[in-house]
Structure 1
Amino acid sequence: MQQKESAFSAGPSLLVGVLSKASHHQLRSRVVPLFASLGDKAKMILFVGNSTSKDVAEARAAEYGGLPLVWLDVEDGYPPRLKDLAMWQYMYEHHATEYDWFMHLDDDAYVDFERLRDFLRGFELSERNAGPLYLGGPTTGAKFDPQGRPLNVEKGKHGELLPYCVGGPAYVLNRVALQKMGPHISQCAVEWSSWHSNVEVGRCVTKHAGVACGSRPFSEDQMKARFKSAWSVDRQILLPMVLEPVHLNAIALHPVKLRGLRSLPNHMEPVRTQVEAAKAQRRYLHWDGVETIALRGGYKALRLALTCALREARVLRRIFVMPALVPDGDGGHVSIHQLFDVQRASARLGAIESDSAEWTRVVQWPAEYVGVGDEGAFMDTGYLSKAELGEARVLIRRFASNDSDRPMLGEAVEAFCQGFGNEGIDLL
């Protein structure tokens, strides 16, 4: 079960810390299926506590296929407050300069690493990752932990509770956040308030990295939808089952357990199969509402919008379905070829026309769209919004007649209209 670096070298570099135990049951029923399904998608390290000795833990890791294991001399109990902090301490001391992003992952969670990298790439394109980032499903929790201790969640300057990231469906720190928090982790392990491990990690991140869980332009609900605590039946995902779209479109799902399905050799595989099948059907990004754009914004705005859509399709590794005809403003239509060098766009960025045979064959599949709002046009998708890729939503407003011939753009234009420099402009 040795991991090959070349298998996951594309995209933002990511190190994943998996918390578990070195018991036969935990390794066999959770860790082995997790690494079998996801171990070739990202660099993953298994962290275990001292409920077994270091020698025994390492021997069992070898027995189960050579799991990449780090033994921590801390308690293995739940909640894993000290083990969680010790894992972050290890990643800071040994890997803080080697990776761009660092993830906490439970052994009963599923992560779509391709979607995660698309998500993180947006923050890099918009240069949001120059500062500390702490991304996951935000919450402020209850007032007390199960032992009756107050959580004492960190507060902002106006007394508001600052959210921490729920640990179950995974959360991510960028390198800046880890390097800011790292020197203080041992202090955080001593100056604790509750037994709740996620709260204590969040407190440490917020206090020393200066950032709470979540990030603009996303609301808490949007982040929770991406890092999904997917309670379905009996407070878990029972498999095999047909996952709902909200689950298929999440970055991370938790919990995925084996209960009642012990005959399955790998209970993670049904989840992986369904998620991959859904992504295969969402390989197209389709333009919609071109007529409104042409009438409101003129051809400059239309061409800029199409360029942004092409760039979005490239980052998402989608095929862009561009209109075959666009309105000319006088009640007629002109060919898209008068606006774009379609042949070059198809070869370089991946594009087809809406009347093509390929699109006719797959039009019944769930597609993603470029939409039109009251203010003008914006790039959006049914399953994965442009804003999901960092502050990248593009809003082309109707500009005044006395303005220049340049369309007005929303604030979050960096990632796809400017994030690639001049790349794609020569396709106009």
Structure 2
Amino acid sequence: MSLANKRVLVVAHGHPDLNKGGAEMAAYNMFNEFRRQDVDAFFLARTDQKPHGGAAFSSRNSDREILFHTTMDDWFLFSNIKTRHMWQEFRDLLMLIKPDVVHLHHYFLLGIEMMQEIRTSLPKCKIVLTLHEYLGICHQKGLMVKPSGKLCYKASPRDCHGCFPDKQPGDFFLREQYIKRIFSVVDQFVSPSAFLKQRYVDWGLDFNRIEVIENGQLPTDKLKRDDSPLSKVRLAFFGQINPYKGIDVLLHAVKSLPKKVQYQLSVEIHGANFELQSGQYQKSTHKLLDQLTHVVKMCGAYEAREMPKLLSRVDWVVVPSKWWENSPMVIQEAFTQKVPLIVSDIGGMAEKVLDGINGIHFGAGNAMDLARVIESVVANRALQNEYSANIRPPMSIEECINQHADLYL
């Protein structure tokens, strides 16, 4: 459906030039596809960089890419308290651009009141919000994981108080009501996975207000893979590095393998923000890495444009996350290059990767089960080609935009 007469403002909580998360990339890819299709689109991204002269906004790359220099002061309600004087400048920006559609890919770090400001300033504007995780439901960084590490299946004020004793059940009740009140101004929600949609429906959002649309992928060339029969089985992890992404599960799994299997493996870990994690997490991870230098290589951060080349050197991508996930972009990126995956058997990972068809599931957080799977793909190398042949191309960014267009009208 044509967006020829629509002006669209895409909003993200970070610019991919400055923040490497999947939600930021999903938002930016949409903006760039809009521009490729000659849609009148702007991109607004929050940044914590200090602006020149104290201005609320600056530009990056072009005058259509705008940085919003703001902070989030209340991490419980996602509210901007100390910087509310900046909202007038945000209103001025809205009135200057006058978008017909504002598509938010987050409210985290921006301030959840942003949605109310849009509705107040532009009553006829269509507001679309993509839900990338469970922040509205869960105060634990939107992970729905208890302090013990156990998965949380449903939030309630009393259970949330159990995770955060410094907050009373009444605090969580009021938090939920406040977030739902702000959400009431949203015309349409988008969820990249059916799993995440159901979590929000269970929480109380209307089933019919949430459309499931996968994050679209940019067109890339399929690079030739090294299929030498004498090469090692090559596994790789891609993504943010933090305690919930399961790097420790992967390392413990590799460590538990017999030496003869280890020497038939090559494991690469590609990811950012390891240096931002707690000292204890870094220490325990380095200890495992030091014991596996003959197998595992820590490769550091990577750029999105490098993914095709990196994936061309990989037999399997491992996604060992210990939280539900939603729709890890690396799954779609791997499918684009026809690389099968080994993933935790929960959440969006289990939804996107079909066990025994285009990848393999293992018990989430279970290093021994992951070791079993790794040993099986080393012993039976034909599985890689078999599962690779079953991979279907993921949704393109063009198709993604087309599906969103119906929501904008």
Q: State if a TM-score over 0.5 links the two structures.
A: no
- Which of 1 and 2 has greater Rg? 1
TM-score (norm 1): 0.28
TM-score (norm 2): 0.29
